[in-house]
Amino acid sequence: MTDHKTIKELCAQFTRIINEPNLEIQRVHAEKPAPIIGFLPTDVPEELIHASGAYPYGLVSYEGMWVNRADAHLQTWACSLARCSFGMALAGKFDYLSGLIIPHICDTTRMISGIWKQTRPYDFMENFVLPRQVDRPSARSYLIGELGRLKARLESFMGRSIADEELQRSISLYNKNRTMLRKLYQFHVRRPDLISNLDVFNAIKSAMLIPKELHNVMVSELLRVVEQQTHERNTDDAARGVRVLVTGKVWEPPAIMEILDESGGVCVADDLSTGYRYIANDVTENGNPLEALADHQLKRPPSPCFVNRGQDRLEYLVDKVKASGARGVIFLHLKFCETENYDYPLLRDALFDANIPNVRVESEIGNVSHGQISTRIQAFMEMLGGEEIYGS
């Protein structure tokens, strides 16, 4: 009976999915067989895969030990995210996939798609080529065309056409997931003692690993119990903590959020592709669904992979810091992520100019020293608000 499950037990379900990412999807697949189509995070229209009848599956849970497997094929400066996903594929960890969609968001993803296709091909392998400059008038029409091309390729692979009504149903299912996860995020911001940094990020990431129908049930149960406990407990119980904004591509390794929890930090806003950026905005449910998916993609929060002169990333970050009450910013950078490396000096200097303290934490999937990261984050938390964590 879920009535008796605690918040921690419900959150542990998400952790289990992330720790053993192939178990649940394979169980679902055994019960109701359909092709499983993987995607690299996270600028891929999952709704299209879902509407085609296949299972979308995000390659977002990494086993660092396989990073070096990719060495024979990729330059050593390729980021560990790409090297680990590809290394896991080479090690046969994704053999249950029938297909893979790689979004072209940086030089690394552009480079890896051809190599992957040659060395470890699946039956369905597609690139999703996104416009880099998203505020150009031509970006929208181009993207609608690219979505149409991907839809046609999925239809051909699945042997069936995707009706607009089916795609709209998938969009609605995904919107429900995003809406509930945003609600959970807000609970976390208000009550990090109930929903920790790690809990909320696990909930978001696990959404990419199992069918949304199942994930929606899990998140809605969790929300119900959280709401109940929030009413039962005195609001004075709300934990203190140092509010920070985290910016970067992905929260890797996941231990970083645990370290933040242990250091008394509360992530109150972020723009990570496997964090808030994944759930930030919904897709319009009326009208032409391909146009709606294109608009959704073009309006996602800024990312270093895209240029949008109408929504500057720096302004976005400063606005978020102010709106969320964050006291500082953590740049969470994967080593060799060239897109972040280009943006960083400008963002860092501008944040300092705006009197917003910030720190850069460089991480890597695989060979990472948690001790170093922990020391850096703890020192930053102490600098921002030691008295709130340790008392005056």
Q: Which of residues 139-198 bind ligand SF4 (CB under 6 A)?
A: none
Q: Is 44 in the site for ligand SF4 (CB under 6 A)?
A: no
Q: Which of residues 308-367 bind ligand SF4 (CB under 6 A)?
A: 334, 337-339
Q: Which of residues 216-235 bind ligand SF4 (CB under 6 A)?
A: none
Q: Least separation, in Å, of the C-beta of 235 and ligand SF4?
A: 39
Q: Least separation, in Å, of the C-beta of 88 and ligand SF4?
A: 14
Q: Which long-range contacts (CB under 8 A, 24 or more apart) does 105-108 make?
A: 105/43, 105/130, 105/303, 105/305, 105/306, 105/339, 106/305, 106/337, 106/338, 106/339, 107/338, 108/78, 108/79, 108/82, 108/338
Q: Is 51 in the site for ligand SF4 (CB under 6 A)?
A: no
Q: Which stretch binds ligand SF4 (CB under 6 A): 52-60, 78-86, 119-127, 367-375?
A: 78-86
User: Cα angle vertex 199, ends 195, 205, to 5°?
Assistant: 140
Q: Which is nearer to ligand SF4, 246 or 268 (CB)?
A: 246
Q: Which stretch binds ligand SF4 (CB under 6 A): 17-25, 74-82, 118-126, 201-209?
A: 74-82
Kindly write out the interface string for residues 248-277 of this chain, putting x where it contacts ligand SF4 by CB under 6 A and - elsewhere: -x----------------------------
Q: Is 81 in the site for ligand SF4 (CB under 6 A)?
A: yes
Q: Which stretch binds ligand SF4 (CB under 6 A): 104-112, 131-139, 264-272, 357-365?
A: 104-112
Q: Is 79 in the site for ligand SF4 (CB under 6 A)?
A: yes
Kindly write out the interface string for residues 106-125 of this chain, putting x where it contacts ligand SF4 by CB under 6 A and - elsewhere: x-xx----------------
Q: Least separation, in Å, of the C-beta of 303 and ligand SF4?
A: 8
Q: Is 82 in the site for ligand SF4 (CB under 6 A)?
A: yes
Residue from 49, 305, 317, 326 that binds ligand SF4 (CB under 6 A)?
A: 305
Q: Which is nearer to ligand SF4, 79 or 162 (CB)?
A: 79
Q: Which is nearer to ligand SF4, 175 or 273 (CB)?
A: 273
Q: Which of residues 279-298 bind ligand SF4 (CB under 6 A)?
A: none
Q: Which stretch binds ligand SF4 (CB under 6 A): 103-111, 119-127, 287-295, 364-372?
A: 103-111
Q: Least separation, in Å, of the C-beta of 241 and ligand SF4?
A: 28
- Where does this chain bind ligand SF4 (CB under 6 A)? 79, 81-82, 105-106, 108-109, 249, 305, 334, 337-339
